[in-house]
Amino acid sequence: MVSHEELQTIASQPDEFTLSYVFSVQNFDSLHTLINRLIDATCGKCSKSSRTDIIALIDDLSSSAMTSTEFSSALNGIAYMLQHLASYGKVNGQRVGVLHVDGIDNKSLPLSHSLNMDQLLSYVQGIRKYSHTCSLTFCAASRSRNISTAINEAILTNFVNTDSKARKVLLVLTSGRFDNVDAVWKEVGAITLETGVYVFVIGAGYESNINGLQAIAQEPSNVFMVSDDNLETLDVIQSQLSYISCS
């Protein structure tokens, strides 16, 4: 079996547009990204744009919570992507926010580029998994909260009436193990329709429910599944976080 490292020695070197030119057919989303990159490469009037607002939404709801191992992998995945942001901290560059949804309350880091990368990584690695123990009153109140309402809150809070020139990206890290996948598909589809927000879903670990992940992404090519030993799978998202625009 050919390793990822061997393929990297054959492929073109990463550049400002694409972090990796290695694509694995095990990850069906990779081929879609390859097609997009071919279109970009053959466009005569393409230019790099770095103004991207990125929100990482961590699903820690009791109904679809990740295991401790999955939660740790999700945080590692976020950290991996952050470390490869080409324009974070620059004027008119990438801004990042984090939303941790646990059913009782949202813990959030608003969109910002004022933190340095070490501070941002420290914040992410300091997030702790919710214990899912609560009083009867709080538990009853949390039943109305689900992944659909969390996504709606994330979009309304971070992407409405903000910089119209920035690309808006929502990264959802979840198990995809929802009680009613069909309902999630309909609800999220209605929420994200015509918002201009690009939604990518990352399942941390191979026990994630692929149907649930696709219900959020609405587009199979925007679904990624990762574990700690293959975080490089997330390299293909970088071309979307620092994207090319064609005129």
List of domains in the chain = 29-36+46-246 (3.40.50.410)
Euclidean distance between the first and final Cα of the chain, in Å?
41
pLDDT at 99: 95
User: Is it the case that residue 103 has pLDDT exceeding 90?
Assistant: no
Q: Give the model's confidence band at 213: pLDDT under 50 very low, under 70 low, under 90 confident, else very high.
A: very high
215: nearest Cα among 74, 64, 100: 64
User: Is it the case that residue 5 has pLDDT exceeding 50?
Assistant: yes
171: nearest Cα among 204, 205, 211, 131: 204
Q: What is the mean pLDDT of residues 236-244?
A: 70
pLDDT digits over 49-59, tens only? 557 899 999 99
Looking at per-residue pLDDT, the higher value among 247 and 133 belongs to 133
User: Is it the case that residue 2 has pLDDT exceeding 70?
Assistant: no
pLDDT at 143: 54
Phi first, then psi, for residue 54 (nearest 5°) are -120, 125
Q: What is the mean pLDDT of residues 167-194?
A: 93
User: Is it the case that residue 207 has pLDDT exceeding 80?
Assistant: yes
Distance between CA 116 and CA 29 in Å, rounded?
31
Distance, CA of 124 to chain centre: 14
